[in-house]
Structure 1
Amino acid sequence: MKGKLVRAEGHLANIIPIHLDASFFFERAVRSLDRNHVDKALKYFRKAVEYEPENPVNHCNMAGILSEKGDYEASNAILANVLEVVDPSMTECYFYMANNYANMDRFEEAEQALVTYLEEDTQGQFMTEAEEMMELLYYELDRPTKLNRIKSRKGVVEHDQARELLEEGKFAQAAELLEGMSSDYPDYLAARNNLALAYYYMGLFPKAKETIAEVLEQEPGNLHALCNLAIFHQNENRADQVLLLIKKLRVIVPFQHEQVYKLATTMGILGQHDTAYVHFRRLLKDEETAADPALAHYAAVAAYNTERYDAAERLWHHVSKLDPGSEVSRYYLSGLEAVKQGEQEPEKLSYHYHLPFDEQFRQWENYGSGIPEEMKNDPLIRSSFFWALRHGDRATKLQVIHALGMIGDYEVQQALQSFIEEPGEEKDLLEAAQTVLNGLKSAEHEDRNSQVVRPFSPIALKSIGKVPSTSEQSDTGSTSHWQAVVDRALQMSEAKAELQHEMERLWTDYVSRVHPEVPGTKQIEGWAAGLEYLAAKNHSRPVTYQSIAERYGISASTVSKYAKQIHSVCNSKPPLV
């Protein structure tokens, strides 16, 4: 017996004991999933939770399997328990819950869970997937999701909105948004730099300079802040401070496109045209920026200002190819030819991709058509107006007041009101500004009243069912590029008659609803691409933003932007892919 017992003990000594713990059942669950044994995996994860109830990962794994099995309610119950009891910091659970709600077609609850995830999650692990779900919810709920912030991006949403406003020339609105960010994101220096630019474009130099000082206090070597400060000092005629900053900036060789662009334009404005030319040429050699007509124009200006006339001529011809409809390259090529023929003395040119201020006014007066619609929204032109309103001579200020009256939006009213409150302005200028401002407010009041009493104006009713004719467009202040959008979409799509009719129907519907507002001519590609995308979706055609974007030579986000704008007005509801 004893010998047998020894043998038995020796035999038992070769057996590896099993430790039944959470790790054991976790490994079994993973192995079952690899073999596609979903029910077994769920059973093992339940056992893992029993052994380690405080471990949120096991709970989430169990919720994931229930979601795979289509038991979305049970999955969300587990996820809610994780957030309420086990580990409230597991904010990714909100994203999982949003997926479950979407699969149950409970889109309002999906939106609420998704917004909570974006506003509370610090890591942003599922940002790409969240953006795709936002797009799905946009179409299902027929409205954009209200999102105040994305925590993992620390103010990126607000900053992107502010940058869009700056690019659209809406400086006061951008400033309001960026001011609100200052307390929430005190370390977000890019937002502070853009706030300084907004103040600068509005002519509020002391506030701009104060904001830049705050940035440099936190980061003395911040390139954007140093560039902005140098320009501010130049406006104040502080030559000694400008020279000190030029010495700093000339030895900097940045590699990021945005920083090279900023440094090049700054050096040009500061009169360091040789340095500016070198940096602009660097950008033109890069395929990511080589097709930008504004950049090619800036390089041409730098070449001209350094008497590289042959290079300037080549560059302006290049601008003509990149932007065939622009008057800018033709104007400057004409001036260059006059200088080369000795008919005109060379003068330093400014770094703006539009016609000189006086030339713009001369053309508008000659044409008798007022300010073209696309120029009203050009941020460079708008900023030049606001600048001239505060710092031009008396005649220029009168011209600007008249021009601003033809634009008449919120930004203009803010600028005129600020001008009226400015001490020391001449009485007749103040009276002219007040007259224009009163007229704008009166027109705005009448528009609101007419909308209440008569929802459809006679013009809009007349145009329902057809794109306005050229004569109707001229009567209402519109231009013929309404038709150019649908023409471009038809030309690019090469679609069958059914889809072409749908594009014409959609565009006619959109035009009739927003008439007499007019999209700018520079956005025709975007409008046409968005129109084609919606029409294809309405006819269940397999299409993506990216596939449309590649044919039109624009970004997928641009296609999405204009498709959503048409969709929001027309309330069309394309099926999802």
Structure 2
Amino acid sequence: MNFKAQKAFKLGKVVPFIQNGDYFYQKGISFYRKNNIERAIFYMEKAIELKNDDPVYHCQLSAILADKGEYERSNEILQQVISEMDPTMYECYFFMANNYAHLGLFEKAEEMAFQYIENNEDGEFLDDSLSLLELLHFEKDDDYSMEEKLDEEELLIIRHGNAAAHIARGHYELAIDQFQQMIKDRPNLWSAHNQLAKALFLHGQHQEALNRTYEVLEKDHGNFTAYCHLTTFFFELGEKEEAYKLAQLLTKISPIDIEQRFLLAETFCKIEFFKESFHQLRLLKKEQYEESLDFLRCYGVAAFHCGEIERANLYWRKAARLGDKKAEKILLEDANGLLKKENVRYN
């Protein structure tokens, strides 16, 4: 023991050594980088014991377990994160998809990959998810005999998801080209027609978008998505009387499909039927609908215009944490007393 240590010891000056969750987490990361998997798991589990409510710790443990080949246990942890801790950690779906692929459970892998794409269309792992789906397409069947048609359907779904992602990113021309090609291959694929109309409208080709939507309704009477799009198109073009007529029809519809119900809530919010939108969103919330960025932003706008200011701020803060610039702007304006009611819109 050196002189300084002796002096500190005699004076009773003991420097506390705090071993908290973060300490063990960093130790786990350190051993993981050194490829010492067993030690990494040991320290990560210790970190979780001390800080069990941190979803990042759980996700890191699941990643280490996957590297070890314990895919089932890894997925159990990821499912727990999504179900019990943070339903907005959509990357868990992507990691589960990879684990299921390693286990040879290709249908489950596809399901998880689609879940990721649907909930996070502009996410970090979008391209990786699409690549995984393409790989799964070839892995599932080598002979292309009895299930050739099924494979074609799967590939079509991949193409559809890819084109829809282009709309979310603002790449409208790419989306238009891809949906047009899909329609050429499958003329009665109404979902592609509807998405093409949406891309056309956002690209400024308003009449073409309207014509496409009318065509869908002529050939597929009662197409719910087409009616929602047409309502929004009319409103954005200033044809509010026509939009409100359609909206009155939509208020009488209760879709069974949960995604259609969110589309209905979005449509009401866009045309400023905030009470109706808020009602649908609260029902979806009770059913634990995934809190995507669009859901959070829509909920915030609808709640704000229904007088639920604190609730609106809560959902805008959630959206801002996920990187939503519009939500950040609204919160900043509100904090500075500059927020104007007429500027709070969902579009």
Instruction: Tell me how far apart the structure 2 counterparts of residues 129 and 210 of structure 1 sit (CA, whole Å).
Output: 33
Question: Structure 1 counterpart of 2:204, which letter?
Answer: G
- Per the TM alignment, residue 257 of structure 1 is displaced from its structure 2 partner at its CA by 2.7
Q: Provide Cα deviations, 1:7-47, integer angstroms capped at 9, x if missing partner.
A: xxxxxxxxxxxxxxxxxxxxxxxxxxxxxxxxxxxxxxxxx
Deviation at 1:180, TM superposition (A): 2.2
Q: Return the offset for 1:330.
A: 4.2
Q: 1:277-321: CA deviations, max 9, x gaps?
A: 11222333343503x24312211111112222232233334445x
Partner of residue 283, structure 1: 284
Tell me, yes or no, if structure 1 residue 134 matches structure 2 residue 138.
yes
Which amino acid in structure 1 is aligned with residue 216 of structure 2? V
Counterpart in the other structure of 1:332: 330
Distance 1:129 1:318 in 2: 29
Q: Counterpart of 1:314?
A: 314
Tell me the amino acid that sits aligned with residue 345 of structure 2: S
CA distance in 1, matches of 2:262, 2:207: 25
1:35 alignment partner in structure 2? none
Inter-CA distance 345–168: structure 2 relative to 1 (3 Å threshold): closer
Q: 1:133 to 1:198 in 2, by over 3 A?
A: closer
The corresponding residue for 1:349 is: 344
Deviations 1:109-146 (A, max 9, x none): xxxxxxxxxxxxxxxxxxx9995473599xxxxxxxxx
Question: Which residue in the other structure is 1:514 paired with?
Answer: none
Structure 2: distance between partners of 1:158 and 1:326: 26
Q: How does 1:389-400 map to 2 (within 5 A)?
A: none
Are the equivalent residues in 1 in contact too, given 2:179–2:193 (CA < 8 A)? yes
Which aligned pairs between 1:48-67 and structure 2 lie closer than 5 A?
Answer: none
* Aligned equivalents of 1:250, 1:286: Cα separation in 2: 20
Query: Who is 2:219 aligned against?
Result: 218
Match of 1:206 in 2: 207
Map 1:10-409 → 2, pairs under 5 A: 132=136, 134=138, 150-152=151-153, 155-290=156-291, 292-320=292-320, 322-323=321-322, 326-337=324-335, 346-352=341-347
What amino acid does structure 2 have at the position aligned with 1:200?
F
Which amino acid in the other structure matches residue 313 of structure 1?
N
Q: CA deviation at 1:151?
A: 3.4
RMSD of Structure 2 on Structure 1 (CA): 3.3
Cα offsets for 1:356-392 (capped at 9, x unmatched)? xxxxxxxxxxxxxxxxxxxxxxxxxxxxxxxxxxxxx
- Paired position in structure 2 for 1:426: none
Contact kept, 8 Å, 1:193 with 1:212, in 2: the verdict is yes
1:161-186 deviation line (CA, Å, top 9, x unaligned)? 32233233221122112212323312
**Distance change >3 Å, CA 288–CA 208, structure 1 → 2:** same
Q: The residue matched to 1:264 in structure 2 has which SS?
A: helix
2-side partners of 1:288 and 1:133: how far apart? 28
User: 2: distance between equivalents of 1:314 and 1:130?
Assistant: 38
CA distance in 2, matches of 1:309, 1:220: 40
Find the residue that maps to 1:347 and give its secondary structure: helix
Aligned counterparts of 2:173 and 2:339: Cα–Cα separation in 1: 40
Q: In structure 1, what is the equivalent of residue 37 of structure 2? A: none
**Partners of 2:137 and 2:151 within 8 A in 1:** no
Match of 1:331, as an amino acid?
K
**Residue 11 (structure 2) aligns with:** none
- Distance of 2:344 and 2:134 partners within structure 1: 47
Q: Distance in 2 between matches of 1:257 and 1:166?
A: 21
Structure 2: distance between partners of 1:154 and 1:129: 8
Corresponding letter in the other structure for 2:169:
E
**Other-structure match for 1:10:** none
Post-superposition shift, 1:337? 4.7
Determine the C-alpha separation between the residues in 1 that align with 2:224 and 2:309: 31
Aligned twin of 1:124: none
Aligned-partner Cα distance in 2 for 1:235–1:297? 19
Distance 1:280 1:186, change over 3 A: same
Conserved in 2, the CA contact under 8 Å of 1:284 and 1:295?
A: no
Distance 1:153 1:335 in 2: 45
Aligned residues: 210
> Whole-Å Cα distance in 2 between the matches of residues 176 and 216 of structure 1?
22
Deviations for 1:190-234, whole angstroms, at most 9, x for unmatched residues?
Answer: 010011011011100011011101110122211110011112222
Answer yes or no: is the 8 Å Cα contact 2:134–2:155 preserved in 1.
Answer: no
- Distance in 2, matches of 1:228 and 1:173, equals 20
| Matched position secondary structure for 1:294 | helix
Q: For the Cα contact (< 8 Å) 2:265–2:277, is it kept in 1?
A: yes
CA distance in 1: counterparts of 2:315 and 2:134, whole angstroms: 43
Deviation at 1:348, TM superposition (A): 4.5
Whole-Å separation in 2 of the counterparts to 1:262 and 1:256: 10
Q: Distance in 1 between matches of 2:319 and 2:134?
A: 40
Give yes or no for contact 2:166–2:174 (8 Å, CA) kept in 1: yes
Q: Which amino acid aligns with 2:331?
A: L
Report if aligned partners of 1:299, 1:315 keep a CA contact under 8 Å in 2.
yes
User: Does the aligned pair in 2 maintain the 1:150–1:156 contact within 8 Å?
Assistant: no
Distance 1:132 1:299, change over 3 A: closer
Gaps in structure 1 of 5+ consecutive residues: 1-127, 138-146, 353-577
The one-letter code of the counterpart of 2:165 is E
Q: Percent identity?
A: 22
User: How does the TM-score come out when normalised to structure 2?
Assistant: 0.53
* Closer/same/farther in 2, CA of residues 136 and 236 from structure 1, 3 Å limit: closer
The separation in 2 between residues aligned to 1:204 and 1:308, in whole angstroms, is 36
